[in-house]
């Protein structure tokens, strides 16, 4: 009888604890109740010890079960999200263009499961993979990054930049320079219209041109013909502009400086600049295009400025000016938030204690590096040379 009573007392104590009482409160209550009923063989200390041990084990087992359930739920969320990602056409096209495989996506999801399951969506996965591959947020800054990912015009620029593998920052800078990102305001019949059409400012003399570029999202070659009608459409205008820039980048072995000059001056005048700069060093245009030596880069910029101010020195014309001789530098400034720069590669600003480097000859991405000038002075290091070395890494 005593053993049976002991089990009942233990069970009642556990029930009180599970109902919300503390262990001490439950033991004290049970002891008092049984004392009133003149049952005095209850060992309060033993009951307290046994109840504590049971509750601790119960809590531990319950926690393990919850953790197992939580892990299983997390794995299910990841599996569902993976299936959504690979069945999302826009997502898979982006991954194709960035050369991201299905296994890369799976590893990303597994490695970042804790963060992803907090807010699981294809859009969030897409943003992470995109930024991981392009380092856009790090290079562009938050304002430009958010514009490219959230604004409708920005998203269009980003889409075609990824599709044809042109640095999104380069295209952002170009469109910013050409039209301040205002497509509608630069269409025929609008106050800002100057004869060139839309966000990419396609001149009438270039209409009818056909541009071709490899689409890294589909794996096929795309073709577009620029007409006054199709360039009125934002999507077509951005697409044609990006394909045109990509054509020049390919033509000049990835040299973005020469590509931009050709976009502004036109193909023939861009060729004039390239040949004149190459002639300065007795090398071919191909050798010039693949060189990153400061002097050769400056030679290209110098001839671009000379052709703009003295066009008859380069081709048969009666015009006294042509194009924009500082087009490359203007775009570089647009890309890095209008930071002053005197050269394509960089400058030392002693007053503000900053060394700035802007390299847009790299076909993969524009590099922008800022370092502290006194760090170099204190260590007797040539600042610009060192920053250029950083850019190569």
Q: 372 vs 74, which has greater pLDDT? A: 74
Query: Measured between alpha carbons, how far is 101 from 252 in angstroms, rounded to an integer?
Result: 30
Strands 354-359 and 367-372: antiparallel
What ranges do the domains of the chain cover?
2-69, 333-392
- Per DSSP, what are the bridge partners of residue 224? 211
pLDDT band at 276 (very low <50, low <70, confident <90, very high): very high
Query: Measured between alpha carbons, how far is 261 from 269 in angstroms, rounded to an integer?
Result: 8
For CA atoms 192, 193, 197, 203, give the dihedral sign: negative
pLDDT score of 166: 87
Record the pTM: 0.69
Contacts of residue 161, Cβ cutoff 8 Å, sequence gap at least 6: 167, 168, 170, 171, 242
The CB density around residue 209, as the number of other CB atoms within 10 Å, is 15
Strand order in the sheet with 367-372: 346-349, 354-359, 367-372
Query: Measured between alpha carbons, how far is 50 from 386 in angstroms, rounded to an integer?
Result: 71
Give me the phi and psi of 348, to 5 degrees please. -105, 120
When pLDDT is averaged across residues 98-119 and rounded to a whole number, the result is: 80
In the block, tokens 């720069």 appear at 341
Query: Measured between alpha carbons, how far is 205 from 196 in angstroms, rounded to an integer?
Result: 9
DSSP secondary structure letters along 153-175? HHHHHHHHHHHHT--HHHHHHHH
- Mean pLDDT computed over every residue of the chain: 78
When pLDDT is averaged across residues 211-236 and rounded to a whole number, the result is: 93
When pLDDT is averaged across residues 91-119 and rounded to a whole number, the result is: 81
CA atoms within 13 A on the CB side of 346: 27
pLDDT score of 103: 81
Residue-wise pLDDT for 338-347, tens only, equals 333 333 344 4
pLDDT score of 153: 96
Query: Measured between alpha carbons, how far is 392 from 134 in angstroms, rounded to an integer?
Result: 16
- Which of 148-152, 157-161, 294-298 has the weakest average pLDDT? 294-298
pLDDT score of 267: 93
DSSP secondary structure letters along 239-254? HHHHHHHHHHHHHTTT
pLDDT band at 349 (very low <50, low <70, confident <90, very high): low
Query: Measured between alpha carbons, how far is 255 from 359 in angstroms, rounded to an integer?
Result: 11
Contacts of residue 198, Cβ cutoff 8 Å, sequence gap at least 6: 179, 183, 186, 187, 231, 232, 234, 237
Write b or e for each residue in 332-369: b if 16 or more Cβ atoms lie within 10 A of its Cβ, otherwise e. bbbbbeebebebbbbbbbeeeebbbbbbbbbbebbbbe
Highest mean pLDDT among 252-261, 331-340, 348-357, 381-390: 252-261
Q: Is residue 306 over pLDDT 90?
A: yes
Highest mean pLDDT among 295-309, 347-361, 364-378: 295-309
């Amino acid at each position: 009888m005593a053993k049976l009573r002991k089990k009942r007392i233990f069970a009642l104590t556990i029930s009180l604890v599970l109902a919300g009482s503390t262990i001490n409160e439950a033991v004290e209550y049970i002891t008092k109740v049984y004392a009133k009923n003149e049952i005095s063989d209850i060992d309060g200390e033993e009951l307290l010890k046994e109840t504590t041990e049971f509750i601790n084990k119960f809590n531990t087992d319950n926690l393990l079960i919850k953790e197992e359930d939580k892990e299983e739920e997390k794995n299910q969320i990841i599996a569902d999200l993976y299936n959504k990602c690979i069945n999302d056409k826009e997502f898979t096209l982006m991954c194709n263009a960035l050369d991201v495989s299905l296994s890369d996506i799976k590893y990303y999801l597994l490695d970042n499961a804790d963060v992803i399951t907090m807010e699981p969506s294809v859009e969030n996965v897409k943003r992470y993979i995109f930024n991981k591959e392009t380092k856009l947020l790090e290079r562009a800054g938050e304002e430009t990054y958010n514009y490219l990912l959230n604004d409708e015009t920005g998203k269009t620029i980003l889409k075609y930049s990824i599709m044809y593998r042109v640095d999104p920052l380069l295209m952002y800078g170009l469109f910013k320079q050409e039209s301040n990102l205002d497509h509608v305001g630069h269409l025929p019949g609008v106050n800002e219209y100057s004869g060139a059409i839309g966000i990419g400012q396609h001149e009438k003399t270039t209409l009818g041109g056909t541009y071709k570029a490899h689409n890294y999202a589909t794996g096929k070659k795309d073709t577009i013909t620029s007409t006054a009608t199709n360039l009125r459409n934002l999507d077509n205008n951005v697409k044609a502009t990006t394909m045109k820039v990509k054509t020049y980048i390919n033509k000049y072995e990835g040299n973005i400086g020469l590509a931009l000059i050709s976009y502004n001056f036109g193909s023939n005048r861009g060729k004039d600049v390239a040949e004149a700069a190459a002639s300065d060093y007795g090398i071919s245009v191909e050798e010039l295009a693949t060189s990153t030596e400061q002097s050769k880069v400056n030679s290209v910029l110098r001839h671009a400025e000379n052709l703009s101010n003295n066009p008859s020195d380069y081709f048969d014309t009666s015009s006294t000016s042509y194009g924009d001789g500082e087009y490359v530098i203007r775009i570089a400034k647009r890309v890095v938030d209008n930071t002053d720069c005197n050269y394509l590669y960089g400058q030392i600003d002693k007053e503000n204690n900053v060394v700035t480097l802007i390299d847009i000859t790299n076909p993969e991405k524009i590099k922008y590096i800022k370092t502290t000038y006194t760090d170099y002075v204190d260590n007797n290091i040539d600042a610009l040379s060192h920053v250029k070395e950083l850019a190569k890494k």
